[in-house]
Amino acid sequence: MALSKLSGDEQGIILGQLRNTLEPRLAMYFSSANKELRALLTPAVQQQLRTDYEAATALCLKMGMGCKELREATKVDWRDNGLSAADLATLAKLGSLLPALGWLVLIEPSGSAGPDGVPRLAEGLVAGALPALTTLFIDGMHVGDAGAVALAAALDRGALPRLEILSLGNVAIGDAALAALAPALRRRPALEHLHLADNPLGDEGLAALMPPPPAGTPPPPAGGLKKLKVLDLYGTQITDAGCATLVAASHFELLHLERLHLSFTKITDAGCATLAAALDSGALPALEKLRLVGTPASVAATDAVSKALAKRK
């Protein structure tokens, strides 16, 4: 069918598909050969395409790669590159143009992105953005409440649809931030690894992540954390109450949890006793490793947990 037979909206959709920020020549080439597309590619649209391309090119150069290389990348590992909030916003706009990217690492302990960096990244992730991404590491940047809310919204509108591993280490996630993010994470059935190390979150945030089903009702058959294999709470403010939350959750989810990291938390002998008793009773059936180094608990208490775990092997 000739383009002239299509409606203006349909022609606009075709032009939208051709407007590839990493390959702007496509829109220019096709519009030069078709008067309908040429009419839609107004000077204002051309200027916006040029501006977006220049921003994408600058980001790629900053990261030491070309636009073609980024477009075809399966793994991007950016560490200490001085990413700004504007850079992260640009990366978000490219999310739907990176069909092969499966692994994204963003580590910026310098704080160059500021408090707005991660929120701008998340806010720019449209439905279906980063369609192949299974692993996302964000470390050292400020996520906080605003970033958690924005990331939750991005996940709920369909960004990162294949996410399996999420690492948010040392990103200022407290109880309120985790509570905001938790419902979206629980709606991700493919999530297998969740790393929240070195954040100020505590028992309230953990309870939001693992809320018990309403009294007298069975747990829902889908959703939750039923495929989670690794939970990393290293260096958080989890206490003995958090141990009770984990044990309670083990009766209706966490059925596949293999590794649980609780080192350098606030867990005492009482929390260790809760864990040991739960392990003896068959809770956390897939658990293979449980780390409790650097807690206030005594050696005897942590040894009791280790022995309870060892007896099941």
Tell me, what's the pLDDT at 53?
A: 72
Residues in the chain: 313
Instruction: Give the C-alpha separation, 182 to 208, whole Å.
Output: 6
Tell me, what's the pLDDT at 49?
A: 65
Tell me, what's the pLDDT at 184?
A: 96
pTM: predicted TM-score of the whole model, two decimal places? 0.85
Please determine, for residue 27, whether its predicted confidence score (pLDDT) is greater than 90: no
Q: Convert the chain into a string of H (helix), E (strand) and C (coil).
A: CCHHHCCHHHHHHHHHHHCCCCCCHHHHHHHHCCHHHHHHCCHHHHHHHHHHHHHHHHHHHHCCCCHHHHHHCCEEEEECCCCCHHHHHHHHHCHHHCCCCCEEEEECCCCCCCCCHHHHHHHCCCCCCCCCCCEEEEECCCCHHHHHHHHHHHHHCCCCCCCCEEEEECCCCCHHHHHHHHHHHHCCCCCCEEECCCCCCCHHHHHHHCCCCCCCCCCCCCCCCCCCCEEECCCCCCCHHHHHHHHHHCCCCCCCCCEEECCCCCCCHHHHHHHHHHHHCCCCCCCCEEECCCCCCCHHHHHHHHHHHHCCC
Mean pLDDT value across residues 258-266 = 98
Mean pLDDT value across residues 253-278 = 96
pLDDT in tens, 14-23: 334 444 555 5
Tell me, what's the pLDDT at 221?
A: 67
**Residue 82, token pair as written in the block:** 């001085």
Q: How many CA atoms are closer than 13 Å to the CA of 311, on its beta-carbon side? A: 14
Domain regions of the chain by residue span: 8-66, 74-159+166-172, 186-214+221-313
Pairing of strands 103-107, 230-232: unpaired
Proportion of the chain above pLDDT 90, given as a percent: 65
Q: Which residue has the tokens 């924005």?
A: 150
| Angle between helices 269-280 and 240-249 in degrees, nearest 10 | 20
Q: Which residue has the tokens 């109880």?
A: 175
Tell me, what's the pLDDT at 25?
A: 52
**Residue 140, token pair as written in the block:** 């050292």
Instruction: Give the C-alpha separation, 190 to 15, whole Å.
Output: 34
pLDDT in tens, 201-229: 999 999 999 998 777 676 666 678 989 99
Residue 73's CB: how many other CB atoms inside 10 A? 16
Q: Does 61 or 194 have the greater pLDDT score?
A: 194
Tell me, what's the pLDDT at 23?
A: 56
Query: What are the residues whose beta carbons fall under 8 Å from the beta carbon of 35, sequence distance 6 or more?
Result: none
Homologous superfamily assigned to 186-214+221-313: Ribonuclease Inhibitor (3.80.10.10)
Mean pLDDT value across residues 225-245 = 97
Amino acid identity, residue 311? K
**Confidence at 44, pLDDT banded by 50, 70, 90:** low
What's the order of all strands across the beta sheet hosting 103-107? 75-79, 103-107, 135-139, 165-169, 193-195, 230-232, 259-261, 289-291
